[in-house]
Structure 1
Amino acid sequence: MFDHTQRAFFRLNGYLVAGGVIPPALIDRIQAAARCDISQRVRPYRLVGGSVARLDQLWDRGPLYREVIEHPLLLDCVEDLVGPNIEYLTRRHNHLTLNGPQHSVTGRGGSGLHRDSLQWSRPIVTALVYLDDSTAETGATQLIPGSHSLLPYLGMPSDGGGGIHLAECQEYQGYAEQALTCEVQRGGVLLFNSLLFHSAGVNRTSSDRMSITLGYRSVDELQPTPQGYAHLVRGEAVYRGNDADTNRHAWRGDVFPDLDSSESV
């Protein structure tokens, strides 16, 4: 999906846009199912102004939502960024959102700009899948390019969330003025480093804008994932901890002929 220049852009700026990833027919089916869940208030969900604005735990809502989560073109994009062994997270994102008229709190003032992770040693790739056109008028995502490379840890959020808001980082308040509006057409995906400061924009139209927020990461080769926290969606659940290296003595003499077998590598 991405060439080496696009991957370099992602590392430098923290985000990439891929158009035409999710086909229109699948989007139609997802939107119909979501509207049904919203009208019937199928839990778990979140309210804004008394109306359902978010459906949580998409993975557990059934195979239809997983068609998006595991869509081959989407996973191709993620693989280009994190490698062939990919986990989908159920404890971060994993929801569908209605960005309703005037619902979102954001803007150049930075009150909505936030990170999805606290520190660099466990970042994820956030994937925003747009089920409607995301424009400046409908509250397109705002982001600060390169902000993932600010200090790796900026403190704990006061609201107890998993990331931190830019408004809580006094030293970096000026960066809010550097936020760009990222417009993406229906079926497109915005992928970004979870440390990138970003926010939904204000929807100034009379209609909702629907999107899906997903989180992916590479398989951790040093620590198996606890059951239920993530699902392997591509590749293998590789483990390469030293305690599992049963073949070390078989090959190390060939690679390091002068190395005593009792020494530790």
Structure 2
Amino acid sequence: MDGSERFDRDQLRRDGYVVLRGAIPAEWLVPLRDAFDAGVKANDQWAVPRGPGWRHASLDLDPYVQAVCRLPVLLAAAGALIGERFFVAQVEGREPLCGGGHQGLHRDLSDQRPGDTVNALAFFDDFGPDNGATRLIPGSHRPVQRESAIHPAAESQAVQLVGSAGDILVFDADLVHAGTLNPSDARRRSILIGYFAEPCHASHLATAHLRSVRMDTSERFDP
């Protein structure tokens, strides 16, 4: 089954996200978890210090991580949203700690035009309300005023995701979303992958060092 048969493209564009169930081969999960744990760095050891409540891992050179970034179904979903040639811009491990992980609803924002930036969260552990799974508002990626503040009442529209290790959430960067408080000791390791449209490459290179990007970003993919 190829990537185009694993999700509904029209629904993806309408909702602004899709969860690709079981996209990561099961036999990759152990080496991916090992890569995450080996790559953990203290929050003050990053080019731009990370905030409290999260564990962050530098693992963008790991071959299994790079293979996940290039899974055909994941590239197909990212390409369906971006709609033009694109590249893998960055990937970082992140995990909410017990009592941490809460974020206010927000948009990561596209770079130069709506839809030119897509994020993916690839989960190495099961996720849900017990360990701070992502919440989001379907269809919220094309607001009239994309920079406007998100009203607190929007929380009533948010859906919290539930899934299994090996699932991947793909979403438009303008989709309203947030991490949720992890109330337990249950682990929720994931990698956050960024896909950018080709015209964004120059601006990406200008800030790559601030985002601790080490990997080569010269490869291009067609939607």
TM-score interval w.r.t. the shorter chain?
0.7 to 0.9
Q: Deviations over 1:84-118 (max 9, x none)?
A: 7321113xxx2111122121124xxxxx2111116
1:46 CA drift (Å) = 3.4
Matches of 1:46 and 1:207 in 2, distance apart? Answer: 21
Shift in CA distance, 202/2, structure 1 to aligned 2, threshold 3 Å: farther
1:122 CA drift (Å) = 4.7
Contact kept in structure 1, 2:41 and 2:56, CA below 8 Å: no
1:145 CA drift (Å) = 1.2
Matched, 1:19 2:12: no
Question: Could you tell me which residue of structure 1 aligns to residue 165 of structure 2?
Answer: 186
Deviates more, 1:16-25 or 1:78-87: 78-87
Question: Could you tell me which residue of structure 2 aligns to residue 72 of structure 1?
Answer: 72
Contact kept in structure 2, 1:113 and 1:199, CA below 8 Å: yes
TM-score computed with the length of structure 1 as normaliser: 0.67
Question: Could you tell me which residue of structure 1 aligns to residue 105 of structure 2?
Answer: 113
Deviates more, 1:176-185 or 1:65-74: 65-74
The residue type equivalent to 1:231 in the other structure is T
Runs ≥4 residues deviating over 6 A: 39-42
Question: Could you tell me which residue of structure 1 aligns to residue 130 of structure 2?
Answer: 137
Question: Could you tell me which residue of structure 2 aligns to residue 248 of structure 1?
Answer: none
Root-mean-square deviation (Å): 3.1
1:29 CA drift (Å) = 0.5
1:31 CA drift (Å) = 0.9
Contact kept in structure 1, 2:6 and 2:20, CA below 8 Å: no
Rg (Cα) greater in structure: 1
Which of 198, 212, 222 is the aligned partner of 1:219?
A: 198
Contact kept in structure 2, 1:147 and 1:197, CA below 8 Å: yes
Note the residue ranges of structure 1 that are not aligned, 5 or more in a row. Answer: 107-111, 156-168, 237-265
Shift in CA distance, 4/66, structure 1 to aligned 2, threshold 3 Å: closer
Matches of 2:73 and 2:12 in 1, distance apart? Answer: 18
Question: Could you tell me which residue of structure 2 aligns to residue 251 of structure 1?
Answer: none
Matches of 2:31 and 2:43 in 1, distance apart? Answer: 18
> Which structure is richer in relative contact order (CA contacts within 8 A, separation 6 or more)?
2
1:137 CA drift (Å) = 1.3
Contact kept in structure 2, 1:125 and 1:216, CA below 8 Å: yes
- How many residue pairs get aligned? The number is 208
Matched, 1:125 2:118: yes
Contact kept in structure 2, 1:43 and 1:55, CA below 8 Å: no
Q: How does 1:235-250 map to 2 (within 5 A)?
A: 235=221
Which of 7, 20, 36 is the aligned partner of 1:34?
A: 36
Matches of 2:163 and 2:129 in 1, distance apart? Answer: 10
Shift in CA distance, 182/14, structure 1 to aligned 2, threshold 3 Å: same
Contact kept in structure 2, 1:46 and 1:55, CA below 8 Å: no
Contact kept in structure 2, 1:129 and 1:213, CA below 8 Å: yes
Q: Deviations over 1:224-265 (max 9, x none)?
A: 6468458244437xxxxxxxxxxxxxxxxxxxxxxxxxxxxx
Matches of 2:39 and 2:6 in 1, distance apart? Answer: 41
- Same amino acid, percent of matched pairs: 25
Contact kept in structure 2, 1:134 and 1:183, CA below 8 Å: yes
